[in-house]
Amino acid sequence: MNVLYIYAHPEPRSFNGALKDAAMVTLAARGHTVKASNLYAIRFKAVLDPQDFRMRQDPDHFDPALEQIYGVRTGSLAPDIQEEIGKIAWADLIIFQFPVWWSSIPAILKGWIDRVFVQGLVVDIARGKVYAEGLLKGKKAMIVATTGSSREMYSEDGVHGDLHRYLSPLTHGVFTLCGMTVLPSFIVYGASGMTREEGAVQLDLYRNVLEGL
């Protein structure tokens, strides 16, 4: 299986870094082919703006969705976007790994989605190519995330509420909308307060999940 690993954490020596490294080794050992986009390491531009388009359909008024469709049709999207789009086309499974910040995803990952999940390639709203007919139908998506708060705080009755409610804009609003099959998320709660031994247990659990893909 071709696996694209989208990684969004600024510190390679963090527990997130350990999760990512474990994934690279485990997936390769299982015979999968892996490509990784380490967004902080490559200093991925996180802002969708007119500079993303080498040609414009309407140079006087910037409509991102319109220009994305035009960019797909003319092959005039920025090179870094084209590179990431190529990885998406290649992948059978896309794993998104990130820390949960302010009960959401890091801005750099949101920017990657804004710029790379372009109209005309992942969905075509005008032609009804969404959800079951989304243009990424047949591909799978999975979230791997860490939180600073405990599992209890992110439970349905906890002070934050169910974490999956916060992840729904990604799992439903992006993945399902684009036609992808959403695999169960792997969440490490309270990562910032774990002991080394507790971290090792979580790494083993993650390896087991990946071995079962």
Residue of 32, 40, 158, 160 marked catalytic: 160
Spatial distance between the Cα atoms of 30 and 73, rounded to a whole number of angstroms: 37
pLDDT digits (tens, 9 = 90+) for 159-173: 999 999 999 999 999
Higher pLDDT among residues 39 and 126, named by residue? 39
Q: What is the DSSP string of 29-96?
A: HTT-EEEEEETTTTT------GGGBSS-S-TTS--HHHHHHHHHHHT-B-HHHHHHHHHHHH-SEEEE
Check if 111 is active-site.
Answer: no
The residue type at 57: Q
Check if 160 is active-site.
Answer: yes
The predicted pLDDT at position 43 comes to 98
Average pLDDT over every residue of 49-73: 97
Spatial distance between the Cα atoms of 193 and 202, rounded to a whole number of angstroms: 13
Spatial distance between the Cα atoms of 100 and 44, rounded to a whole number of angstroms: 19
Residue of 86, 138, 148, 193 marked catalytic: 148
Spatial distance between the Cα atoms of 67 and 52, rounded to a whole number of angstroms: 9
Cα distances (angstroms) measured from residue 34 to each of 31, 37, 42, 88: 9, 10, 17, 12
- Residue tagged 């005309």 (tokens): 120
Give the chain's domains with CATH numbers.
Answer: 2-211 (3.40.50.360)
pLDDT digits (tens, 9 = 90+) for 116-158: 999 999 999 989 999 999 999 999 999 999 999 999 999 999 9
Residue 92: Cβ-neighbour burial (10 angstroms; 0-12, 13-18, 19+): middle
pLDDT digits (tens, 9 = 90+) for 70-105: 999 999 999 999 999 999 999 999 999 999 999 999
Whether residue 183 contacts residue 142, with contact meaning beta carbons closer than 8 Å, is answered with yes
Q: Token pair for residue 115?
A: 């710029």
The predicted pLDDT at position 116 comes to 99
Spatial distance between the Cα atoms of 89 and 112, rounded to a whole number of angstroms: 15
Spatial distance between the Cα atoms of 206 and 102, rounded to a whole number of angstroms: 24
Residue of 154, 166, 189, 206 marked catalytic: 154
pTM comes to 0.97
The predicted pLDDT at position 197 comes to 98
Whether residue 103 contacts residue 150, with contact meaning beta carbons closer than 8 Å, is answered with no
Check if 148 is active-site.
Answer: yes
